[in-house]
Structure formats: C-alpha cells, structure tokens
Amino acid sequence: MTQNYSPLPGQERYVAPLEETPLKAVDSVDTDAPATSMWADAWRSLRKNPLFIISAIFILFIAFVALFPKVFTNLNPNYCVLDNSAEPASPGHFFGFDRQGCDIYARVIYGTRTSLSVGILTTLIVVLAGGLIGAIAGYFGGWVDALLSRIVDIFYAIPLLLGAIVVLQMFTTSSSIWKIILVMAMFGWVSIARIARSSVLETKNLEFNTASTALGSTPVRNLFRHVIPNALAPVLVVGTTSLASYIVLEATLSFLGLGLPSSSVSWGGDISTAQTMLRTNPMVLFWPSAALAITALAFIMLGDAVSDALDPKSRTE
C-alpha cells in the first residue's frame, strides 16, 4: 500500500523532464581533458598557495647564495686581521668584524654553502635509507616486518642529538663534513622509516596493487613501481621539514665543538665563537643566528605548504 504525500507550501520540488536533461549529457566524460594525478593536483594547489611562493623565493635565494657566493662578496672569509677585532660595520664590511678580525658578512655568505649542503645531503640519505627500509617492512610483513621494526625501535629509543654527540666523541681523530652527515643520518632515518611503513601498509591493499598482482606482476615490481610512488607523499613532507632540523642540528654540534673543523666556515661555528662576545658585541652573534633561523623557517614553511597540497582533505575544503 502506497501513500501519496503532498509537500508543504514552500517545499515543492521541480523535476525537469528527461528530454531536457538526457542521461548521455549528464554522465558523459570529457575524453579530451588532460589526465590528472595526485602530483598534478598538488602542484596546481601549490602554485596558488602564498606560503609556498614565499618559502620557494627564500629557498631559491639561499641556494643561489650557496652556489655563487662571489656574486655577493669578493672577500675571503678566512682572511682575518686582529687589528680589525670587533670593529663595527663600515663601507664594504656590512656586518663588521668578529673577535678574530674576520669579516662577518663574508663568513655568513660562505657559511650558507656548508650548512645547506649538510642539510640536503643528510636529508637525501635519510629519505632513501629510511624510506626503503620502512617500505620493505610494511609491504612484505611477517618476519621481515618484525625484524626491521625491532631495529627501528632500537634506534628510535636513542635521541638524535645525544646519539650524535656520543658517536662523535668516540671518533674525534678526524672531522669532516661527511662524518657529520653520516652520524646525523645514522640516527635520523628511523622517523622516515616508521612513516614509510605506515604509508605502505595503507597503500598495498588498494585495488591497483591487487589488479597488478592478478596480472602476474611480481611483489618486488609492485613495490617499486606502484606502492612506493603512491606512498611517497608523507615521506616527502617529513623529509622537507626534517631538512631544517638537520641544518639546526649541525649548527648545534658545531656550537658544542663536535661539528665541523674550525677551518670550515659554517653558521654553527661562528655562533660558537661569538658567544664570548654576547655582552660586549651581540651583533657578532646575531647575523649567523639570523641566517640560520631564516633558512630553517623557509624549509619549515615549504614543508607545511607541501603537506597541505598533498592532503586530499585540505584540497576539497
């Protein structure tokens, strides 16, 4: 038994005749439209994000300074004259001189290359090693996942800064940029591995992986061709923000006297040597600290912008 309900006043609905809205026109797909993907949608979102534009401008400028320091200064950062010790700013010496009589502006410019190189190289090693270990653990599961997860837990229990200090204290015979990079990567890959594992666990059960397996694709081929590319977004987000952390960590180790050798020009080393002049001439400490803070902030802003672009929920809001 059916009953007909008449709508209340103001609740009437208009249904257009089928002739006016044919199903073919409603449900048709534009075959001429360009193919889209997660990365294309992310780039389209990034181009409209002011946070990404500002951070990208800062990072491009910092990279240009690191690659071409002679464009900004023709002074030698290691040329120091004690007669110029703690002299204030003057024409040609915009930031003045430090305690050893070195030009602070030249050291800030040339220190960009060292600090940026340490951050980028450490991030690359961490993302590659941690991402691969986490992806293998999450995809194959079983005893492989159990073994790799226990190794990750062991390293995760060691604080990054404390572990780096202990290892560097054990090997104090020589100091180089690669030593600092490898030590930081030794304890920094675990966070990437945990994120990659959880992302792969979510991705490997999707339909495209099942279809690829049904078509005869091997597990290794599925992992590297289908699963990892689709599980890469959270790893890239964390890697981008971690780059700023590694730049700050290198400066911290240099500040503690465990980082790069004194012959290397770095912001952390300059901050360490400037602490004795904090009360008499605080600007000696301010300039390398400001360069470090701006660089770290630029990469953190970039990580936030990338995170928003790769999050489907934020794009739909």
What's the CATH number where 259 sits?
1.10.3720.10
Q: What is residue 60's predicted lDDT score, i.e. its pLDDT?
A: 93
Q: What is residue 123's predicted lDDT score, i.e. its pLDDT?
A: 92
In sequence order, what E strands does 219-269 have? none
Beta-carbon contacts of residue 63 (< 8 Å; ≥ 6 apart)? 116
**Residue 167: inside a domain:** yes
- pLDDT: which is higher, 85 or 153: 153
**Residue 55: inside a domain:** no
**Residue 286: inside a domain:** yes
Instruction: Tell me the CA distances in angstroms from 134 to 4, 34, 198, 242, 263, one per residue in order.
Output: 60, 34, 8, 17, 38
Tokens 């980028």 belong to residue: 120
Put simply, whether the predicted model's pTM sits higher than 0.85 gets the answer: no
Instruction: Tell me the CA distances in angstroms from 136 to 66, 128, 153, 196, 208, one per residue in order.
Output: 36, 12, 16, 9, 18
Whether residue 264 is predicted with pLDDT greater than 60 in this model: the reply is: yes
**Residue 94: inside a domain:** no
Helix count (H) and strand count (E) of the chain? 14, 0
Q: Give the range of the structural domain holding residue 305, as residue numbers without chain letter.
A: 60-84+103-312
Give the total number of structural domains in the chain: 1
**Residue 172: inside a domain:** yes
d(CA 116, CA 126): 15
**Residue 90: inside a domain:** no
The confidence band for 306, taking pLDDT boundaries of 50, 70 and 90, is confident
The separation between the first and the last C-alpha atoms of the chain, rounded to the nearest angstrom, is 44
The tens digit of pLDDT for each residue in 23-38 reads 555 455 555 655 566 6
